[in-house]
Amino acid sequence: MEFQPDDWGLSFCPSLHADALRIKQIVGGEISSGDWFVPSKTNAWNDKLEKIFAGEKTSSCQKEAAANVLLAQAAARDGLQFVGFADLDGKPVFTAAQAPAEVWGYDATTKKPALVREGALPLSPLFALPLARADYLARAGVDPGSLTVANALLPLFRAKN
């Protein structure tokens, strides 16, 4: 799956990628094809791996990927719209009469795209979706408060942004 992540849908299922990393940590790297037949390895891994797989029973990679695909398609269809820029002090300057509720720009500290809460990277552009993220989530039937979904959403739709 790692060789063709988009073909396998890993881009839309971040929890599966996180689980794969946890499995690699437990087993100390890659699992070889015959490792399941080595008693010392299976005895060392069984209990720890069982905890991961038991947790997976409560989540659905297919539902996670389907929700993220719907959200990505809606955001791509509607598109981020240029709504202004950050002035020399990082304060938003909007080109429209009414400021959007949620504005995206470059964070002044991390210099990465983020939801603008207080200020942005000076002289960087600001963008917004036509609808609030909550509207997109509701249309896709996604409850952002759900523990199985909260950390599995695409970055644009996570509450922590």
Beta-carbon contacts of 25 under 8 Å, excluding residues fewer than 6 positions away, are: none
Tell me, yes or no, whether 10 and 74 share the same domain.
yes
Indicate the residue type of 160: K
Tell me, yes or no, whether 123 and 84 share the same domain.
yes
Tell me, yes or no, whether 71 and 25 share the same domain.
yes
Q: Which residue has the higher pLDDT, 59 or 17?
A: 17
CA dist 138 and 52 (Å) reads: 29
Mean pLDDT score of the chain, rounded to an integer? 85
Tell me, yes or no, whether 3 and 73 share the same domain.
yes
Tell me, yes or no, whether 45 and 110 share the same domain.
no
Domains in the chain, number? 2
pTM: 0.71
Q: Which residue has the higher pLDDT, 147 or 63?
A: 63
% of the chain residues with pLDDT over 70: 93
Q: Which domain holds residue 19?
A: 1-78+143-161
Q: Is residue 158, in this structure, part of any structural domain at all? A: yes
Beta-carbon contacts of 4 under 8 Å, excluding residues fewer than 6 positions away, are: none
Structure-token pair, residue 138: 């509701």
DSSP bridge partners of 106 = 113
**Backbone dihedral angles phi then psi of residue 106, each to the nearest 5 degrees:** -100, 125
Q: Is residue 138, in this structure, part of any structural domain at all? A: no
Q: Average pLDDT in the 105-114 region?
A: 91
